[in-house]
Amino acid sequence: MAHQLSGQTQTGTIRPWYPAEVPPDATEIVVSYNPIAGLRSAEHRVEKLAALLRSHGYEASVYTDLDEATRKANDAFSAGSLRALVGVGGDGTALELINRTCAGTPITLLPAGNESLLARYLGLSASPEALYRTICAGRLRRLDAGCCSGRLFALMVSCGFDAEVVHIVHRRRRGHMGTRHYFKPIWETIRSYRFPEIRIDLEDYHKPGQIHQSLVARWCFVFNLPCYGGGFRICPQASGVDGPLD
């Protein structure tokens, strides 16, 4: 299935309706490839996917520039010709595509990151052939999205120890990276992080803007989907189709 990530639901309003399938005459596929995602290059898989699509009559264009890819996808979506925007990378790539495209844009993923949690949740494999069949089928699945500091997120957000680790890793990143690149930042953060207090105001889901509970914590997770790195199941009950965040 091609997967459509649409809208934000923190207000509790009814989500907009989108069709369950891509229009049959939509033949344009835009591939957004992050060349430094994961531990090694996925260029050969990108080339294989593009060749498969073109050999079966689809218009496939490949971009390594996010701005160009999302501009092309938005134009094609507005014209009704976009069959899929394919993100080749990890969860960071997926996040950027969600935030740079129109609501309702059909997005699918060719996982090439270290975790690729969203692709795993959606049951998408790293096989170009499997993704080709997904795109041909053209079926859509809608997911909720949360909003943090004006940006949408599909998986989760956190404030605390792990967020500090991610900031350190991001600042030091120079190219491809694997899980081992987290080891040193985790150890440094264990030694230096002071776990400051965090105030959390919880809005009433049915009365947007009204605070019904305030908490003080030292680490906070907000989940849209039951996914977290390293295989940890912190919030297994989270659902991406029920409206509220967990």
Q: Which of 143, 163, 191 is the last residue of a domain?
A: 143
- CATH code of the domain covering residue 37: 3.40.50.10330
Whole-number pLDDT of residue 3: 44
Average pLDDT score, the chain: 87
Least confident of 149-153, 181-185, 217-221: 181-185
Range of the domain at 178: 151-231
Q: How many domains does the chain have?
A: 2
Last residue of a domain, one of 120, 143, 166: 143
Question: 126 and 211 share a domain?
Answer: no
Cα–Cα distance, 38 to 15 (Å, whole number): 33
Shared domain check, 100 and 34:
yes
Q: Verify that 113 and 196 share a domain, yes or no.
A: no
Q: Is residue 242 part of a domain?
A: no
Whether residue 39 is found in the same domain as residue 73: yes
The pLDDT value given to residue 243: 87
* Domain shared by 133 and 169, yes or no: no
The band of 98, judged by pLDDT with boundaries at 50, 70 and 90, is: very high
- Say which range, 36-45, 96-105, 218-227, has the weakest mean pLDDT: 36-45
What does the alpha-carbon distance between residue 130 and residue 166 come to, in Å, rounded to a whole number?
A: 31
- Judge whether residue 91 has pLDDT over 70: yes
Contact residues for 95 (Cβ-Cβ < 8 A; gap 6+): 151, 152, 153, 154
| Closest to 90 measured CA to CA, from 109, 104, 65 | 109
Q: Are residues 45 and 105 in the same domain?
A: yes
User: Are residues 155 and 138 part of one domain?
Assistant: no
Q: pLDDT: is 186 or 84 the higher one?
A: 84
Average pLDDT of the residues in 111-128: 93
